[in-house]
Amino acid sequence: YPWLLHNGFTLYATLLVPYQPIVLLFLQLVYNLLGYSVGSLRILHFIYITVVDLTLLFILYKSTKSYRATLFGILLYSLLQPMAEGNGLWFDHFTLLSLTFGYYFTLKAIQSKRALVHTVCAIICVGITILIKQTMLWVLGVLFLYPLIDYFFLKSKNYTYKMLIIAALSLLFPFA
């Protein structure tokens, strides 16, 4: 796809694309910088996997506060990643970084007094995930369930009615 875009094809006009365009445009940018070769894809893949591993390391440690659990999680991800992702950089793999940040901000929303800020950040991260792969739309619904449960059933006062409206409006981010 990036090579076709580079050679004059346009998205959704002369080129049918079954995916959201954010990854294709990012790959086109990388290929324009590094050249259209397998080596440039390997460099990008290596950098992306390293960034995802470091992000997982940070988020797992922040959520578990245990070095053993963090190392176990990273080891498990490192062993399963080649089988799950195959030999390339796929759209599902690109969703992992924004999903992990969405998970992190959701945990922060549960644990902190500034629940609205963290909830909106989590929804924006999941919105970016939806812009990468539209089948991740269900994650947004699951993510918005927590403020609703907190407000209507737990009554913990982390959310007010106005905060729920702002969080609901932030759900529109992927569709803007």
The DSSP line for 89-135 is --HHHHHHHHHHHHHHHHHHHHHSS-HHHHHHHHHHHHHHHHHH-GG
Q: How crowded is the C-beta side of 161, counted as CA atoms within 13 Å?
A: 0
pLDDT 10s digits, 148-165: 776 677 666 666 666 666
Q: Dihedral, CA atoms, 12, 131, 150, 162, nearest 10 degrees?
A: -70
Would you state the pLDDT for residue 25?
A: 80
Highest mean pLDDT range out of 81-85, 97-101, 116-120? 97-101
The closest alpha carbon to 141, from 166, 122, 117, belongs to 122
Band (pLDDT 50/70/90 cuts) for residue 170 is low
Residue 104, Cβ neighbours under 10 Å: how many?
20
The token duo for 60 is 């797992």
pLDDT of residue 89 exceeding 60: no
**Mean per-residue pLDDT for 99-107?**
84
Taking Cα atoms as reference points, which of 149, 161, 48 lies closest to residue 94? 48
User: Which backbone phi and psi does 134 adopt, to 5 degrees?
Assistant: -70, -15
Cα(119)–Cα(142) distance, integer angstroms: 12
pTM of the model: 0.70
Cα(105)–Cα(119) distance, integer angstroms: 7
**What burial letters (b/e) apply to 116-136, b meaning 16+ CB within 10 Å?**
bebbbbbbbbbbbbbbbbeeb
CB 93 within 8 A of CB 48: yes
Which DSSP helix (H) or strand (E) runs through 63?
helix 38-64
* pLDDT tens by residue, 108-159: 877 777 777 887 888 888 888 888 877 777 776 766 676 677 667 766 666 6
Band of residue 83 on the pLDDT scale cut at 50, 70, 90: low
The rounded mean pLDDT for the chain is 76
